[in-house]
């Protein structure tokens, strides 16, 4: 038997989801609540953050994530710009609509103050490429033939999962705190690298009678004790509405003046997405993209103010 690129993409996103549930208890609570009510978990998208800077052996910026998903048949669908935050982004879609979208953003490091550029470059410039030579070879075979033997596909997926973590060495505490003053996004990437920033689940397909929309879903989670974003992005009936749990905070290792220290920082959060139909040229379509203002507010969920 052999696996197609679509099947490998499904295995990879599934394993990243399992890893995410282990790291984000709010997401685990959501899945338990949906399952208890006989509903469905449908993943809308997975989001990653990157630096548009020289990152050693790893491709820079969006390319760091894109080059993996290109092999798995994903194609770019739309571009986004967030000038105030010095960010650009692209979302990718798979021909199989059952597979989640991939949303990748990058911090334009060259637009930061020179001291901030230097701190980021000092941390990431000698990054080692995390994929093994065998996986690179297997990706090449997959690109040429569209298929891999089952055992080879399983090896590849396990190796690809390891790519989605911080690829550079533990950052300096001073760098994290100072970068945070000019870009909380940048501080997050220093600490987490290629790790999943968040998963978005699609409330439209939960198939729970008591949770027909974003309001009822968010309210149920709030009642259950899950800390939620105060405001829903997008008015009722609009083509895209989004909310989220708050980001999980955890202890992370950083380099201090006299050795390794611990710092409390945000990690990931679960986003809840509601997609609706809109009219275009007399035809009604389900909106599959993202809206810049909404995404910009969701970026702020990883702000960290105290340590």
- Check pLDDT > 60 for residue 306: no
Angle between helices 184-192 and 173-182 (to 10 degrees): 150
Average pLDDT, the chain: 96
| Residues 165 and 193: beta-carbon distance below 8 Å | yes
| Beta strand pairing call for 249-256 and 87-93 | unpaired
| Residues 89 and 80: beta-carbon distance below 8 Å | yes
* Rounded Cα–Cα distance for residues 120 and 127 (Å): 12
pLDDT digits (tens, 9 = 90+) for 188-205: 999 999 999 999 999 999
pLDDT digits (tens, 9 = 90+) for 255-279: 999 999 999 999 999 999 999 999 8
Residue 108 CA, distance from chain mean position: 18
Predicted confidence band at 150 (pLDDT cuts at 50, 70, 90)? very high
pLDDT digits (tens, 9 = 90+) for 40-64: 999 999 999 999 999 999 999 999 9
Tell me which residue of 30, 73, 75 sits closest to 228, measured CA to CA.
30
| Residues 166 and 37: beta-carbon distance below 8 Å | no
Q: What is the mean pLDDT of residues 150-175?
A: 98
Query: pLDDT at position 280, please?
Result: 82
Query: pLDDT at position 224, please?
Result: 97
Q: What is the mean pLDDT of residues 76-97?
A: 97
| Residues 139 and 5: beta-carbon distance below 8 Å | no
- Tell me how many helices (H) and strands (E) the chain has: 10, 13
Query: pLDDT at position 233, please?
Result: 95
Query: pLDDT at position 221, please?
Result: 98
Query: pLDDT at position 281, please?
Result: 83
* Rounded Cα–Cα distance for residues 181 and 178 (Å): 5
């Amino acid at each position: 038997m052999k696996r197609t690129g679509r099947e490998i993409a499904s295995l990879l996103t599934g394993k990243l989801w399992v890893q995410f549930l282990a790291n984000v208890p709010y997401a685990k609570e959501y899945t338990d609540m949906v399952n208890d009510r006989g509903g469905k978990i449908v993943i809308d998208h997975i989001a990653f953050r990157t630096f548009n800077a020289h990152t050693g052996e790893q491709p820079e910026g969006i390319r760091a994530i894109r080059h993996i998903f290109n092999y798995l048949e994903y194609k770019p669908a739309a571009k986004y710009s967030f000038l105030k935050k010095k960010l650009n982004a692209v979302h990718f879609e798979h021909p199989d609509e059952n597979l989640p979208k991939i949303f990748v953003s990058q911090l334009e490091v060259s637009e930061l103050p020179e001291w901030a550029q230097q701190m980021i470059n000092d941390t990431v410039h000698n990054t080692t490429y995390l994929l093994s030579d065998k996986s690179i070879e297997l990706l090449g075979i997959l690109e040429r033939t569209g298929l891999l033997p089952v055992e080879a596909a399983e090896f590849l997926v396990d190796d690809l999962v390891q790519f989605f973590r911080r690829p550079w060495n533990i950052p300096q505490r001073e760098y994290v705190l100072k970068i945070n003053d000019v870009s909380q996004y940048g501080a997050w990437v220093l600490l987490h690298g290629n790790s999943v920033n968040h998963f978005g689940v699609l409330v439209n397909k939960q198939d729970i009678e008591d949770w027909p929309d974003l309001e009822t879903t968010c309210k149920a989670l709030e009642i259950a004790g899950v800390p939620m974003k105060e405001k829903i992005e997008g008015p009722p009936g609009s083509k895209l509405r989004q909310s989220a749990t708050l980001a999980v905070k955890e202890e992370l290792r950083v380099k201090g003046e006299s050795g390794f220290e611990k710092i409390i920082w945000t990690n990931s959060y679960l986003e809840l997405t509601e997609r609706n139909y809109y009219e275009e040229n007399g035809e009604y379509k389900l909106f599959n993209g993202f809206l810049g203002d909404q995404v910009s507010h969701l970026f702020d969920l990883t702000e960290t103010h105290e340590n």
